[in-house]
Amino acid sequence: MSDPRRPTTASSAETPAAPPALTATVPRQLVHRAAVAETFLTGLTSTGTDRFTVFAQWPRAHQLHVSADRSAYEPLLVAETVRQVGALLAHTAYQVPLGHQFVLRELGVTTHPERLAVGAVPAEPALHITVTDVDRRGGRPAGLRFTAGIRLAGERVATAHLAVTWTSAAVYRRLRGGRTPATVSALPVPPGVPAAAVGRALPADVVLAPTDHPDRWRLRVDTAHAVFFDHPLDHIPGMLLLEAARQAVRTRTGTGFRTPVSYHAVFHRYAELDLPAWIETVDKPGAHGTDVQVVGHQGESTVFECGVGTVGG
């Protein structure tokens, strides 16, 4: 198997197939995961200037990313896979040191849920990546933006885009003003809404706490959660915020049952562990066919905004 840190080059006219000997995930450090079980990428091939194909494997069962009846992959599995692609590309194709700190700026996915059924073996999607912009500072890459087409067995199951920036550990420490996983503690976790109301099997996976307003919730931040906090962090991760958007849409009252199938999020600032965060929703048509707007606040600041596209209702 070729070294995943050294992308190979193929003709841009070819559609590469996964190498037949591909039997392991990429090194977990390259996708910013501590657990091998949460590492979904298996390889990367360069297909031209700023064009790549990334290979992945999706498990048939997962605490968050597979439906409770194990029949379907969740759209947020696509989002997490795309997030990992951003880290892998930066470290392998753009020579970003492993010690650098990454900031997720935008993440969007649009899925075809009828094509995301769990089969008899783990799914092995191919993500066809086009890097559309590389931000350079001092001649070195400092961020990138890409689009992705995700295919399973040759059939397109989703499209996505991502924007991410990074900085050195020293600059990050200055930006964070001494806030580290060791110096910042999360607030006590309030009681959550019923797990069934947000489409979760376990109360521990609920990230919303009820308030006196039907379209407003307190964010539950449990740093012991093994998926959201796969390793210690000094802030609330973007994937937890996306899960909050998912659960907010699932549990809204007065609109009928809705299933989220697309997410298009912009992250404005760090969501801090030691400040209460609030999640609000409103029916609002947006770009990419979204129909619900989810907004996260801390104090007077907007942390993130996410347009969610739904079916049903």
pLDDT tens for each residue of 119-138: 999 999 999 999 999 999 98
Task: Give 155's pLDDT tier (boundaries 50, 70, 90).
Answer: very high
26: helix, strand or coil: coil
**Which two tokens mark 52?**
């790549």
- How far is it, in rounded angstroms, from Cα 218 to Cα 280? 9
pLDDT at 288: 78
pLDDT at 12: 34
**Which two tokens mark 253?**
């009252």
- Tally the C-alpha atoms within 13 A of residue 173's C-alpha that lie toward its C-beta: 7
Main-chain dihedrals φ then ψ at residue 131, nearest 5 degrees = -80, 115
Q: Where are the chain's structural domains?
A: 8-174, 180-312
- Tell me the per-residue pLDDT of 216-256, one tens digit each, with 9 for 90 and over: 999 999 999 999 999 999 999 999 999 999 999 998 854 55
Contact partners, residue 297, CB within 8 Å, separation at least 6: 277, 278, 280, 303
Q: Are 209 and 220 in contact (CB under 8 A)?
A: yes
252-195-211-296 Cα dihedral, nearest 10 degrees: -70
Report the chain's mean pLDDT, rounded to a whole number.
91
Characterize the bridge pairing of strands 8-9 and 41-48: parallel
Report whether pLDDT(17) > 80: no
pTM above 0.75, yes or no: yes
Task: Give 304's pLDDT tier (boundaries 50, 70, 90).
Answer: very high
| CATH number corresponding to 8-174 | 3.10.129.10
pLDDT at 7: 39
User: Given this chain, do its domains 8-174 and 180-312 carry the same CATH topology?
Assistant: yes
- How far is it, in rounded angstroms, from Cα 274 to Cα 260? 29
pLDDT at 193: 96
Q: Would you identify the CATH topology of the domain 180-312?
A: Thiol Ester Dehydrase; Chain A (3.10.129)
Report whether pLDDT(75) > 90: yes
Report whether pLDDT(280) > 50: yes
- What's CA 94's distance to the chain center, in Å? 21
Share of the chain above pLDDT 70, in %: 91
Beta bridge partners of 66: 73
Report whether pLDDT(294) > 60: yes
Main-chain dihedrals φ then ψ at residue 243, nearest 5 degrees = -65, -35
247: helix, strand or coil: helix
Share of the chain above pLDDT 90, in %: 83
